[in-house]
Structure 1
Amino acid sequence: MAHRKTVNTMWLDAVSMLDRADQLHRQFFRLGSAQTRGPSWEPPADIFETPDTLSVMVALPGIASDNLQVTIENDVLHIHAHRPMPGPRGAHLKRLEIPYGHFERHIRLPSGHFQIQDSSLSQGCLTLTLKKLR
């Protein structure tokens, strides 16, 4: 009887971990709004604030800097690009977990005025430093 209870507990733990992994995947690579044509997704972002700046880090693996557009309009940071489908021509797709295609990320900024002071794309992350304008 104790053996059966242990197996059931292990099974419930495994199912719970799979559900959590699926939730994290959907959270980080959720589909964007239907306002755009074609496939759209939103990359995850972190934001840090200091008294003088706002730092934004966005996960963009596989995105070239010349394919990236970043603007600030009406207190919203807009990030647009396109991640092309990888792989050799004629290859058979066996698994597709990383989102590809057009993406947009719109981040509402805190009240105030901001100017992009610095930007870098390194190790798959876009890092923006937004200067607070007084």
Structure 2
Amino acid sequence: MTFRKPSDTMWVDAVTLLERADRLHRQFFHLRPDPASGPAWEPPIDVFETGLHLHVQVALPGVDPAHVKVVIDGDALLVVGERPLPAAPGSRIRRIEIPYGRFERRIALPAGQFEIRESQLANGCLQLDLLRLS
């Protein structure tokens, strides 16, 4: 039987959790090296379906509603926009973890036709309510 000190086990668990958090952060914020070739990042989303409604929540921290466009493009919902660099001119950047630049997220819709019934940007999240027409 192998005996491990509790402090060693806690350290391994802590490192494992930190690695998992880092993987999730990279998974949600897909950065591209050349913003001129397309969007620089994809915001994370939640999608819930209830009866005839599809509820979509898109995390857009610090994004002005005037800089967001939402359209239904065939069988997908397209959310595009831009989050400008929040730093003031001449300031020194110490750390940037929240992505900035042009973003785009294409969300596959279930079968059927949908219409955007409600759209609001509140508390850093774009909340959309889509109604299934057929």
Give TM-score scaled by structure 1 length: 0.87
| Moved beyond 4 Å, runs of 4+ | none
Q: 1:12 to 1:96 in 2, by over 3 A?
A: same
Q: CA shift at 1:114, angstroms?
A: 0.4
- How many residue pairs are counted as aligned between the two chains? 130
Q: CA shift at 1:132, angstroms?
A: 0.6
Larger deviation, residues 88-97 vs 70-79:
88-97
CA distance in 2, matches of 1:14, 1:47: 30
CA distance in 1, matches of 2:127, 2:28: 17
Q: CA shift at 1:87, angstroms?
A: 1.5
User: Structure 2 stretches of 5 or more lacking a match?
Assistant: none
Q: CA shift at 1:31, angstroms?
A: 2.9
CA distance in 2, matches of 1:46, 1:12: 31
> Residue in 2 aligned with 1:20?
20
Q: 1:93 to 1:39 in 2, by over 3 A?
A: farther
How many percent identity over aligned positions? 52
Q: CA shift at 1:28, angstroms?
A: 2.3
SS state at 1:96 partner: coil
User: Structure 1 stretches of 5 or more lacking a match?
Assistant: none
Q: 1:95 to 1:38 in 2, by over 3 A?
A: farther
Q: CA shift at 1:38, angstroms?
A: 5.4
SS state at 1:41 partner: coil
Larger deviation, residues 11-20 vs 111-120:
11-20
